[in-house]
Structure 1
Amino acid sequence: MQAPMLSTVAATIQTAIAPVFLLAGIAGILNVLVGRMARVVDRARKIEQLHPVSTGAEHERHVWELRLIDRRLSVINTAIWLCVASGIAICLVVALLFGAEIVHLDIGVVVAVAFIASMMLLTAGLVAFLFEVRLSLRAVHVREELLERDRSG
């Protein structure tokens, strides 16, 4: 096995730069998702403390919010899983680029499939994130009875 020339390694590094930048972007998205998850967990803990001492409509609202929080946590977990899988696929792309160059393999199709899989996983993760944001809006709308609007007009 012949070692690759320095110019070949440099060209492979240049080719791998775009996926590496994408990996940094995925890391930023994961940071946002984990932050959202932490806030949802904090809210769940607060509602769990209020739940046993609440009654009537307030108790029903706590149960409703806990169910919504449970759903949000599942969706955020899915989004995190998909984005992590996307990052792993990008790492695979970079490793395949270098591995193919070192052992002189023509695996362009495999690299392309891994990149496409990464993009599909990232897209699915972002869709899950969008869905979680939409779910969160249900909990933050101010209830109509608290707005004390004039009902005559």
Structure 2
Amino acid sequence: MDIQLGDISHIIQLAIAPVFLLTGVGTNLTVLTNRLARIIDRSRILEDRIAAANDVDHSDAYEELATLYRRAHLINRAITLSTSCALLVCIVIAALFIGDALNLELAKFIALCFVLGMFSLIGGFVCLLREIFVATRNLSMRNIVAPPRKGTSAE
């Protein structure tokens, strides 16, 4: 195994694009985990509110919890798919180095891993988009528009 400096620089050049992709996937994972953390925090607040007051009707809280559980499930799926993408990109980078260093024909394997990684990333983005749709579906104008102040007329 006689690898020259020029060979190593060529291998590094091949691996640059997947490394940039890996950076983007890492940023996406940060966004997803932050969304999941907010969902979990809100769920805990609602669960504590339900546990604290047993004699009050909590139908609104249970509805919101059901929505939060659905959102958490979608975000978990997006995290799983995005992490799978990151792992596949890491395999692509390693295979580029190994294939070039050992003169192995790994082009089809590398292409397969890359395509699977892209499908995983697409699936993760689709799950994120679905989660956003679920989150925004439950917004209403009454929660956004401030009620009229006392002494003013609502026209």
| Superposition CA RMSD, Å | 2.0
| Deviation of the 1:139 alpha carbon | 3.5
| Preserved contact between residue 4 and residue 101 of structure 1 (Cα < 8 Å) | no
Name the SS for the 1:106 alignment partner: coil
> Match for residue 94 of structure 2?
95
> Match for residue 27 of structure 2?
28
| Deviation of the 1:51 alpha carbon | 1.9
Higher helix share: 1
Q: Do structure 1's residue 68 and structure 2's residue 78 form an aligned pair?
A: no
Unaligned runs of 5+ in 1: none
Letter in 2 for 1:111: I
Name the SS for the 1:140 alignment partner: coil
Letter in 1 for 2:82: C
> Match for residue 55 of structure 1?
56
* Percent identical: 33
Unaligned runs of 5+ in 2: 149-154
| Deviation of the 1:138 alpha carbon | 2.8
Instruction: Assess, with a 3 A threshold, how the Cα gap between structure 1 residues 112 and 4 changes in structure 2: closer, same or farther.
Output: same
Moved over 4 A (4+): 146-149
TM-score of the aligned structures, taking structure 1 as reference length: 0.88
CA distance in 1, matches of 2:49, 2:72: 19
Letter in 2 for 1:99: I
TM-score of the aligned structures, taking structure 2 as reference length: 0.87
